[in-house]
């Protein structure tokens, strides 16, 4: 079978002209969903369009190279940080209890999904567990060689989870009418101020990236922009054009992973894959609902914070849907540290046993 990880085109950075072709396809999809009024439509539309084209004609889709990925994370990070207000910083006091609940939620999601894949689908222990760890595709792929996991099955579950959260959650939210994407009424920051924030954010982001921090560029840019807006050195929001560009790039980047995706495997394993994803999302929604009531936070914000998606995508979704992206990003960053410190222990104690 063909998998994204084995495709030679994904092992070498492609010419910029080919990368821009991928972006152009994403732009068409993003504009289409924006026209339909879908929240975060630029990102979800871009992902859907690139994923479809990559499935129909894999050779036409190439992944975005390092330069475009860093630009996407830089622009998006500054945009997310611009949503921060002094009130946002005061709400940080609610984070410890919420983050603790999120960590428990991660264990529950992984345990239930692992049990389901192992007992009902007959997958071996390594495959079941690595397919069930939420929101850590890159990290999971890096440790698969140390286990006897079935790589195609793990990739299928992890990627379909990303597709559901990035592509379909905004559509479901829009159709339900339950969202807060009405705008804050704040004016856009000037392009000069935005450029200064990007320059400062890039400096911090490159340092974090050098230390191999997940989403380091976005985190650095978000931190600089959040401080500037939280301390009221800036009081606007990122220019809308910049936000849309960042969403299109991240959507195209995520969608390009589906080039050469084995849809036949997905169809054969669809009951267990769909069931696993559904269970993890329902568990996240349950925990999010409890925390929403206990801490008095919007359910949409807690759901995105607890959802088994990636740091970049969930923070952007929060911003586009009108929730606090700083709150959501903090939870996904905490999960990153949990997985990095916890997974080696899990591999040693749980996966190295004979199966």
pLDDT in tens, 66-100: 889 899 989 988 988 887 777 766 667 778 889 99
- In this prediction, residue 350 carries a pLDDT of 66
In whole angstroms, what is the distance from residue 198 CA to residue 74 CA? 7
The pLDDT of 22-43, averaged and rounded, is: 89
Range 291-303 average pLDDT:
87
**Domain residue spans of the chain:** 66-238+263-351
pTM value is 0.80
**Whole-number average pLDDT of the chain:** 81
SS3 string, the chain, reads: CCCHHHCHHHCCCCCHHHHHHHHHHHHHHHHHHHHCCCCCHHHHHHHHHHHHHHHHCHHHCCCCCHHHHHHHHHHHHHHHHCCCCHHHHHHHHHHHHHHHHHHHHHHHHHHHHHHHHHHHCCCCHHHHHHHHCCCCHHHHHHHHHHCCCCHHHHHHHHHHHHHHHHHHHHHHHHHHCCCCCCCCCCCECCHHHHHHHHHHHHHHHHHHHHCCCCCHHHHHHHHHHHHHHHCCCCCCECCHHHHHHHHHHHHHHHHHHHCCCCHHHHHHCHHHHHHHHHHHHHHHHHHHHHHHHHHCCCHHHHHHHHCCCCHHHHHHHHHHHCCCHHHHHHHHHHHHHHHHHHHHHHHHHHHCCCC
């Amino acid at each position: 079978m063909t998998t994204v990880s084995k495709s030679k085109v994904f092992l070498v950075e492609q010419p910029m002209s080919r990368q821009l072709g991928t972006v152009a396809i994403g732009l068409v999809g993003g504009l289409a969903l924006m026209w339909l009024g879908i929240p975060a439509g630029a990102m979800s539309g871009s992902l859907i369009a690139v994923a479809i084209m990559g499935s129909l004609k894999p050779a036409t889709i190439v992944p975005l190279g390092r330069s475009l990925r860093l630009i996407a994370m830089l622009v998006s990070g500054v945009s997310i940080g611009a949503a921060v207000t002094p009130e946002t910083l005061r709400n940080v006091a609610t984070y410890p209890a919420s983050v603790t609940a999120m960590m428990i939620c991660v264990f529950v999601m992984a345990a239930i999904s692992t049990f389901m894949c192992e007992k009902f689908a007959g997958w071996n222990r390594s495959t079941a567990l690595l397919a069930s760890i939420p929101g850590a595709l890159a990290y999971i792929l890096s440790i698969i060689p140390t286990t006897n996991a079935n790589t195609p099955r793990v990739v299928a579950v992890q990627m379909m989870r990303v597709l559901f959260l990035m592509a379909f959650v905004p559509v479901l939210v829009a159709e339900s009418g339950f969202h807060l994407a009405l705008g804050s009424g704040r004016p856009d920051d000037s392009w000069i101020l935005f450029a200064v924030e990007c320059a400062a954010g890039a400096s911090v982001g490159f340092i974090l990236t050098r230390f191999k921090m997940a989403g380091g560029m976005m985190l650095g840019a978000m931190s600089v922009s959040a401080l500037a807006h939280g301390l009221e050195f800036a009081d606007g929001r990122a220019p809308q054009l910049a936000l849309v560009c960042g969403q299109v790039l991240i959507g195209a980047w995520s969608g390009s992973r589906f080039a050469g995706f084995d849809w036949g495997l997905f169809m054969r394993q669809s009951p267990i894959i769909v069931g696993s994803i559904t269970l993890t999302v329902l568990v996240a929604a349950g925990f999010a609902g409890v925390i929403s009531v206990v801490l008095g936070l919007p359910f949409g914000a807690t759901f995105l914070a607890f959802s088994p998606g990636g740091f970049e995508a969930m923070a952007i979704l929060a911003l586009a849907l009108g929730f606090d992206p700083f709150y959501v990003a903090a939870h996904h960053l905490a999960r990153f540290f949990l997985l990095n410190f916890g997974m080696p222990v899990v591999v040693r104690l749980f996966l190295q046993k004979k199966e």
